[in-house]
Chains A and B, each alone.
Chain A
Amino acid sequence: MQNILNLPPIWYTFAIISVLTLFGALGTIMSKNPVHSVIYLIVTFFSISAHYILLNAQFLAAVNIIVYAGAIMVLFLFVIMFLNMKEEADEMKNNKLVTAAIVTALLLGGILIIFLRRAGKEKVDTLGFNSQTGMVEILGQSLYGEYLLPFELISVLFLVAMAGAVMLAKREQGERHF
């Protein structure tokens, strides 16, 4: 009990945020209504952003919120709102789905265990750590210096995906649109 009280305040913050993250993540998979799932997922994204801020990675936190919570989840919600949910309630009785879920969970668990066992061995060098690592300037310099080629390749990939989306959405001759 004494040990818990003597912890530095940042640990409490970490604990609270972690509980929130897990709450959001569990809510995402346990709630029956997809719209509720999306909202739980947004909570999770927020608490992950809070983790980023704890790690002094402000830029990542902001981008996580803008891209995931602000854009992708809006699109998710957008699509889910269109769906009619009442007819698909039987899906969980499908045996194949349950099997696939169990296999995926086991694989993911295995990976997690392996990582956790390795993680304990390497200690972070707290004294030599540059506190500006997560800031925009350093991140930008490494993105546009060290990792320029992968960065540009990814942007080309996005361009291709965008062009593909435009092609898919384009009206073909003879096709009817309402």
Chain B
Amino acid sequence: MGSFVQWLIESMFLWKALIIIVIFAITLAIAAYSTWGERKVAAYIQDRRGPNRAGWGGLLQPLADAGKMFFKEDFIPAQADKWLFILGPCLSMFTALMSSAVVPFGSSFIIGGKEVFVQAIEINIGILYVFGVVSLGVYGVMIGGWASNNKFSLLGAIRAASQNISYELAMGMSIIAILMMSGTLSVREIVLQQHGGNWNIFYQPLGFLIFTICAFAECNRTPFDLPECETELVGGYHTEYSSMKLGFYLFAEYINMFASSAVTACLFFGGYNYPGMDFVERQLISGLGANAGHNVATLIGIGSMFTKILFGIFFFMWVRWTVPRFRYDQLMNLGWKGLIPLAVGNLIITAIAILSGYKLVGIWVGLALMVVLISIVWSLRPKKKNAIMGA
């Protein structure tokens, strides 16, 4: 028994468990307050005040909402497939919570002479893991929609499935361009390579655009919230859901938003890097000593990471309350005929730029050439005879 305790203390196990629990708690807290934030952002954009009765500035609103959810009747339709009906929201929540496991939220803490990464697990296939978990996210929606035994739910589920499959392709290809530049699949490595203002957004503007659009589609957020399109499908895949099962679906959406903001921050905005971080760390180390200085610098890095994540979440909401919903054929056209060809073009340009040795200049010149090429092809296309010209 003594040796086990010894092992427990010496190994990283305790610290890792602590970090996992903290990340888990922060994820849930941010997701809960995203619901408050969503309502506030919606209100402010529409010249209203938003929830401000429960607590100061409505800060207790998430608790009130959750309490309301818990006390609603938990209804399962008679003709529904009971187990799958329960499994659906659980899967949604499960996959949503899994995706932030490989995200490095900060560099590392030095505790008792050991370096502990601020990351749940560090695996050398981090991006593939994220991608795999994202591709599983649709199961919760599909299973829930099918099990409800309701035509609107089924339509929502089918829409979710085809939408996710379509946008995964473009998303994967925009990530591959990043992978080609960094030469690694590990998220931590990708973040480390962006050290010193060397953010991928400057190298991959088009990739970022495609990735963001696909992230919106994968999270089922407006303008791509077709699976729960209430004007056409009542409530979409969660029409039959009530109480905390519905709450899980809604909550999973916010966790997905958090996770995709975190991944976007890591892939394109340098993760926990911020301008002048070397200088800050040197000052802190000379002021506080090597270990304490490093730890405080890591904390500041975590702060910068969460600033980026929160801005990402705000951007999600900002777009939601600006843009109307796409029509389904527009969604498919954009995905298959717009984003995938652009992503392939981006891939080729990135490859050529890397081979030429001038990464930054090469990619921007390549993108400019692509725009020129597309506009030339566009101007040469056969004009429709019956198009309404002029007013």
A and B touch in the complex (CB under 8 A): yes
From B124, B135, B161, B165, give the contact of A58 (CB < 8 A).
B124
A residues less than 8 Å from B313 (CB atoms): none
- What does the 1/0 interface line of B332-362 toward A look like (CB < 8 Å)? 0000000000000000000000000000000
Q: Given that A58-B124, A74-B161, A74-B165 are known contacts, is A35 also in contact with B132, CB under 8 Å in the complex?
A: no
Tell me the B145-161 residues at the A interface (CB within 8 Å): 146, 154, 157-158, 161
From A39, A66, A75, give the contact of B128 (CB < 8 A).
A66
Q: Given that A71-B165, A74-B135, A78-B161 are known contacts, is A58 also in contact with B123, CB under 8 Å in the complex?
A: yes
Q: Given that A65-B132, A74-B139 are known contacts, is A58 also in contact with B125, CB under 8 Å in the complex?
A: yes
| Cβ A77 vs Cβ B168 within 8 A | no
Task: Output the nearest chain A residue to B146 by Cβ-Cβ distance.
Answer: A81
From B124, B131, B142, give the contact of A77 (CB < 8 A).
B142
A residues less than 8 Å from B143 (CB atoms): 35, 39, 77
- Distance in angstroms between the alpha carbons of A75 and B168 in the assembled complex: 13
Tell me the A57-84 residues at the B interface (CB within 8 Å): 58-59, 62-63, 65-66, 69-71, 74-75, 77-78, 81-82
| Cβ A81 vs Cβ B132 within 8 A | no
With an 8 A cutoff between CB atoms, is A50 at the interface?
Answer: no
B residues less than 8 Å from A59 (CB atoms): 125, 128
Distance of A115 from chain B, by nearest CB (Å): 29
With an 8 A cutoff between CB atoms, is B19 at the interface?
Answer: no
- What does the 1/0 interface line of B247-268 toward A look like (CB < 8 Å)? 0000000000000000000000
A residues less than 8 Å from B164 (CB atoms): 74
With an 8 A cutoff between CB atoms, is A22 at the interface?
Answer: no
From A33, A63, A75, give the contact of B165 (CB < 8 A).
A75
With an 8 A cutoff between CB atoms, is A17 at the interface?
Answer: no
| Cβ B142 vs Cβ A70 within 8 A | no
- Distance in angstroms between the alpha carbons of A66 and B133 in the assembled complex: 8
Task: Output the nearest chain A residue to B123 by Cβ-Cβ distance.
Answer: A58
- Distance in angstroms between the alpha carbons of A74 and B168 in the assembled complex: 12
- Distance in angstroms between the alpha carbons of A136 and B125 in the assembled complex: 8
Interface residues on B, range: 20 to 34
With an 8 A cutoff between CB atoms, is B162 at the interface?
Answer: yes
| Cβ B128 vs Cβ A78 within 8 A | no
| Cβ B138 vs Cβ A74 within 8 A | yes
A residues less than 8 Å from B131 (CB atoms): 62, 66, 70
- What does the 1/0 interface line of B117-130 toward A look like (CB < 8 Å)? 00000011100110
- Distance in angstroms between the alpha carbons of A36 and B146 in the assembled complex: 11
B residues less than 8 Å from A33 (CB atoms): 81
B residues less than 8 Å from A42 (CB atoms): 139
With an 8 A cutoff between CB atoms, is B185 at the interface?
Answer: yes
Q: Given that A74-B142, A74-B164, A74-B165 are known contacts, is A135 also in contact with B124, CB under 8 Å in the complex?
A: yes
Tell me the A101-140 residues at the B interface (CB within 8 Å): 135-136
- Distance in angstroms between the alpha carbons of A59 and B184 in the assembled complex: 12
| Cβ A81 vs Cβ B136 within 8 A | no
- Distance in angstroms between the alpha carbons of A71 and B164 in the assembled complex: 9
With an 8 A cutoff between CB atoms, is B84 at the interface?
Answer: yes
Distance of B300 from chain A, by nearest CB (Å): 32
- Distance in angstroms between the alpha carbons of A33 and B123 in the assembled complex: 37
Tell me the B298-323 residues at the A interface (CB within 8 Å): none
Q: Given that A39-B84, A135-B124, A136-B125 are known contacts, is A77 also in contact with B132, CB under 8 Å in the complex?
A: no
| Cβ B165 vs Cβ A81 within 8 A | no
Task: Output the nearest chain A residue to B142 by Cβ-Cβ distance.
Answer: A77
Task: Output the nearest chain A residue to B164 by Cβ-Cβ distance.
Answer: A74
| Cβ A65 vs Cβ B146 within 8 A | no
Q: Given that A71-B165, A77-B161, A78-B162 are known contacts, is A63 also in contact with B128, CB under 8 Å in the complex?
A: yes
A residues less than 8 Å from B154 (CB atoms): 81
| Cβ B142 vs Cβ A62 within 8 A | no
Task: Output the nearest chain B residue to A66 by Cβ-Cβ distance.
Answer: B132
- What does the 1/0 interface line of B179-208 toward A look like (CB < 8 Å)? 000000100000000000000000000000
- What does the 1/0 interface line of B279-297 toward A look like (CB < 8 Å)? 0000000000000000000
Distance of A153 from chain B, by nearest CB (Å): 21
- Distance in angstroms between the alpha carbons of A33 and B158 in the assembled complex: 18
Distance of A85 from chain B, by nearest CB (Å): 11
From B87, B129, B139, B157, give the contact of A81 (CB < 8 A).
B157
| Cβ A71 vs Cβ B135 within 8 A | yes
Distance of A59 from chain B, by nearest CB (Å): 6
- Distance in angstroms between the alpha carbons of A42 and B158 in the assembled complex: 18
- Distance in angstroms between the alpha carbons of A173 and B358 in the assembled complex: 49
The 9 A-B residue pairs whose C-beta atoms are closest, nearest first, are A70-B135, A62-B128, A65-B132, A66-B132, A78-B161, A62-B125, A58-B125, A81-B146, A62-B132
Could you list which residues of chain B lie within 8 angstroms of chain A, going by C-beta atoms?
A: 81, 84, 87, 123-125, 128-129, 131-132, 135-136, 138-139, 142-143, 146, 154, 157-158, 161-162, 164-165, 168, 185
Could you list which residues of chain A lie within 8 angstroms of chain B, going by C-beta atoms?
A: 33, 35-36, 39, 42, 58-59, 62-63, 65-66, 69-71, 74-75, 77-78, 81-82, 135-136
22 contacting pairs across A/B (C-beta < 8 A)? A33-B81, A35-B143, A36-B84, A39-B84, A39-B143, A58-B124, A62-B125, A62-B128, A62-B131, A66-B128, A71-B135, A74-B135, A74-B139, A74-B164, A74-B165, A75-B161, A77-B139, A81-B154, A81-B157, A82-B158, A135-B124, A136-B124
